[in-house]
Amino acid sequence: MIEKLDEILLSQNVVENFYNAYKGDENFRTWLDKTIPEISLCEAQPQNNPWHKYNVLGHILHSVEEINKQTINMTYEERRKLAYVMLFHDIGKPQTHITRMKDGKQIDSFFGHNKKSCEIANNYLHLLNFGMKEMADIQILIFKHDIFMFIKDYPTKNPHWKQLSYGLLSQEIAHLSKTGDGHELMRQLVMVGRADNLAQNEKMTAESLAMLDKIDDMLDDMEQEKE
């Protein structure tokens, strides 16, 4: 069944193919619910938040579809790794869900879901035929997938936000280098951030997507300086 899940997650129509299998193939659904039971929790978890238009599982599946568009020319192993990053990146949301008031409206929030998602992924990655290096990459990319929410391409006095700069990127790359090739992982983290944004409410994400494009350009500059 792992091969079937791989085939779905690396397909062009991830959302359609997943739901066709999950609803139409009892053996696949039984296996998946037993192997990764948090998937069904994500299907049941709405996201009443301006940034989202899908429930948690819908967002996850659309994000897998979006990462696949970016990885089309990468090796199968790298494409598979990043597809599973997206599968697990928000899987901890149901377990961190709260409702709160913001701007006079009640919304859903999921503080700390990146850490919970890492914990959940850690329970299953070894069952999904990933090696130690791949598991380490997946873990750090899940843990840091939300950093772009707190990086702004302009000066800010918000204590939770940081201004985009070459120095900030160097710091992030240095942190990622503790796991592997920091520059390469930063490139992949930008891809993860872009896939995440493209699976959200398009009315909210233009600024974030533009910043991710700028980060790619800055990473190009940093690579050229090394040559």
Intra-chain end-to-end CA distance of the chain, in Å: 45
Whether the CB-CB separation of 82 and 191 falls below 8 Å is answered with yes
Burial pattern 134-163, b for ≥16 Cβ within 10 A else e, equals bbbbbbbbbbbbbebeebbeeeeeeeeeee
Q: Where are the domains of the chain?
A: 2-226
Q: How high is the pLDDT of residue 3?
A: 96
DSSP per residue over 157-213, as a string? --TT-EE--HHHHHHHHHHHTTTS-HHHHHHHHHHHHHHHHHTS-TTT-HHHHHHHH
- Per-residue pLDDT of the chain (227 residues), as tens digits, is 999 999 999 999 999 999 999 999 999 999 999 999 999 999 999 999 999 999 999 999 999 999 999 999 999 999 999 999 999 999 999 999 999 998 888 999 999 999 999 999 999 999 999 999 999 999 999 999 999 999 999 998 899 899 999 999 999 999 999 999 999 999 999 999 999 999 999 999 999 999 999 999 999 999 887 76
| SS3 category, 39 | helix
**Rounded CA gap, 83 and 66, in Å?**
9
From 80, 184, 67, select the one nearest 135 (Cα to Cα): 80
The pLDDT assigned to 212 comes to: 97
Q: The tokens of 213 are what?
A: 């494009």
Quote the pLDDT of residue 102: 86
Task: Tell me which residue of 131, 160, 153 sits closest to 206, measured CA to CA.
Answer: 153
Rg (CA), the chain: 18
* pLDDT at 227 (0 to 100): 62
Among residues 68, 72, 70, the alpha carbon closest in space to that of 216 is found at 70
Q: How far is CA 189 from the centre of its chain?
A: 8
- Tell me how far apart the alpha carbons of residues 109 and 51 are, in angstroms, rounded to a whole number: 11
Contacts for 211 with CB less than 8 Å, ≥ 6 apart = 148, 151, 152, 153, 164
Looking at residue 47, what is its pLDDT? 95
